[in-house]
Structure 1
Amino acid sequence: MFPELAAHKRPLKIWSAASSSGQEPYSIAMSVLETQMKSLVYSVVYTLPQPIYRKLC
Structure 2
Amino acid sequence: MAKCIENSVASQGKTIEEAIANLKEAIELYYEGEEVQKPELSPIITTTEVAV
The TM-score by the shorter chain falls in which range?
0.3 to 0.5
- After TM superposition, the score normalised by the length of structure 2 is 0.37
Whose radius of gyration is greater, 1 or 2?
A: 1
- After TM superposition, the score normalised by the length of structure 1 is 0.36
Higher RCO (CA 8 Å, separation ≥ 6 residues):
1
